[in-house]
Structure 1
């Protein structure tokens, strides 16, 4: 039985690393603290390509947004685990679209509301995937997102922050079940086929974030998140390769950012 959504934090504790601030630091941002930087250093010791993975995730996410808005005329985006505002954000790529940014980190929400106001086209909501379809009923979401029309759900570098004991697959199915035919899922997370490496990365992240972490998964486990969806070319793989329109595969050794884009076709 799942544990249900974790309580959402209302205050910011800068003495404990947060995944959002770690990503900001790895992307050369300015919104990190000593605990976040120390956590990144510890992560790089066990996963030397950490910076490359974070950069690949960002390029993949923005590239997918561009493709979906330009080639599939998607005009609504739910950006889960959006993180701190970066040099380019979803609404700046999909300029004629409505975007709801969702993150459980109160610092992300505060910064987002200060920096991402686009005259009624964007909203920043404190929330969690584990709320499932309940999140879609919130007024801030319902005012911008029409569930009768296609929606693109972005979940890049999110699910490795959620362990299987919290049943993210069930929450994802519940969410996707509410969306219109022709909606899309953009999903990626850290993957390794090396169980020892998965454990080492997990130990570092759990220790650094006081347990606010999930797990590095195997490729097959991420494939299962796309069950029932029609995959966009080039399919599932290393997203740095996806961005070049080439099929990528997770190597037996190191960690890769693995995922793709799936379409709801009923």
Structure 2
């Protein structure tokens, strides 16, 4: 990735670190160094990120199978291979996707990647400001809020601290979409991994502008107020509707992330 003078290279970006975990090229030395530190603490971290991406794919396929053709991807990062628009369009070429992120570098590269794609848009905005996100011209242009929308909050709510009211933020997006819409969430958890979780959160707190707040299964379930959580409920990443039994790893709690999908009723 070529360096640019307007980029602060002294601090890692959560979006670019995630890109590195997935094998992407949109990251810098400072991001790779933080990723290496995280992997030293927690060797399974790349596998957790891959499991998260696999969940995203399965969740998008699930939504498309139930008739959803519109996706609002909040905290989307950089749309590397296997992101929402690619997965959705394998089932329906007409699917429309709006990506939203507050990282200017993630937005810049996302727009470069998607500049010729008229069925996607990239909005630079903070998901913690639902009114601003929902009023963005590209959101209003591409998404019809009279029809079901899948609101994607994949691996992002753990970057929203308790003081910012994550449940209220989720509720604001819920209230903007019609019944039959879906909420897709994956979330870092300390359940079963308390010791390593503490050191991992400490690393993000010290190194990035987006400290991590891991939450329990009950806390993640509480985010689905107003939604009917579909089977199998709130589970560790590999356990959410695996493609085959072989995809479920031993000791799934090692994948310190929870996943769930809810339908607005």
Instruction: Decide: shared fold, TM above 0.5.
Output: yes
Q: Does 1:58 align with 2:58?
A: no
Residue 111 (structure 2) aligns with: 113
Query: Structure 1 residues 150, 143: CA separation in 2 closer, same or farther (over 3 Å shift)?
Result: same
Residue 256 (structure 1) aligns with: 256
Q: Distance in 1 between matches of 2:158 and 2:261?
A: 17
Partner SS, residue 143 of structure 1: helix
Q: Distance in 1 between matches of 2:116 and 2:177?
A: 24
Structure 2's unaligned 5+ residue stretches are 1-5
Query: Structure 1 residues 253, 76: CA separation in 2 closer, same or farther (over 3 Å shift)?
Result: closer
Partner SS, residue 94 of structure 1: helix
Residue 186 (structure 1) aligns with: 184
CA-to-aligned-CA distance 1:5-62 (integer Å, 9 cap, x gap): xxxxxx5312210011111111111122121111111112222211011101111112
Q: Which residue of 234, 239, 245 corresponds with 1:241?
A: 239
Q: Distance in 2 between matches of 1:65 and 1:195?
A: 30
Q: Is the 8 A contact 2:236 2:252 kept in 1?
A: no
Partner SS, residue 55 of structure 2: helix
Partner SS, residue 130 of structure 1: coil
Residue 84 (structure 2) aligns with: 90
What is the root-mean-square deviation in Å for CA atoms of aligned residues? 2.2
Alignment of 1:24-43 (within 5 A): 24-43=19-38
Q: Distance in 2 between matches of 1:160 and 1:141?
A: 24
Q: Which residue of 123, 126, 129 corresponds with 1:125?
A: 123
Q: Distance in 1 between matches of 2:167 and 2:96?
A: 26
What is the CA-CA distance between 1:245 and the residue it aligns to?
Answer: 6.2
What is the CA-CA distance between 1:118 and the residue it aligns to?
Answer: 4.9
Q: Distance in 2 between matches of 1:132 and 1:18?
A: 22
Q: Distance in 2 between matches of 1:245 and 1:120?
A: 31
CA-to-aligned-CA distance 1:86-145 (integer Å, 9 cap, x gap): 112211121221100011111111111111235421100011211023311111110111
Structure 1's unaligned 5+ residue stretches are 1-10
What is the CA-CA distance between 1:227 and the residue it aligns to?
Answer: 2.3
Q: Is the 8 A contact 1:183 1:264 kept in 2?
A: yes
Residue 4 (structure 1) aligns with: none
Partner SS, residue 27 of structure 2: coil
Partner SS, residue 128 of structure 2: helix
- Following superposition, which runs of at least 4 residues in structure 1 exceed 6 angstroms of deviation? 245-248
Q: Is the 8 A contact 1:79 1:99 kept in 2?
A: yes
Q: Does 1:77 align with 2:71?
A: yes
CA-to-aligned-CA distance 1:58-95 (integer Å, 9 cap, x gap): 111121111211x2110110011111121122111212
Residue 3 (structure 2) aligns with: none
Q: Does 1:68 align with 2:90?
A: no
Q: Distance in 1 between matches of 2:17 and 2:39?
A: 11
Q: Which residue of 118, 138, 141 corresponds with 1:140?
A: 138
TM-score (norm 1): 0.88
Query: Structure 1 residues 224, 44: CA separation in 2 closer, same or farther (over 3 Å shift)?
Result: same
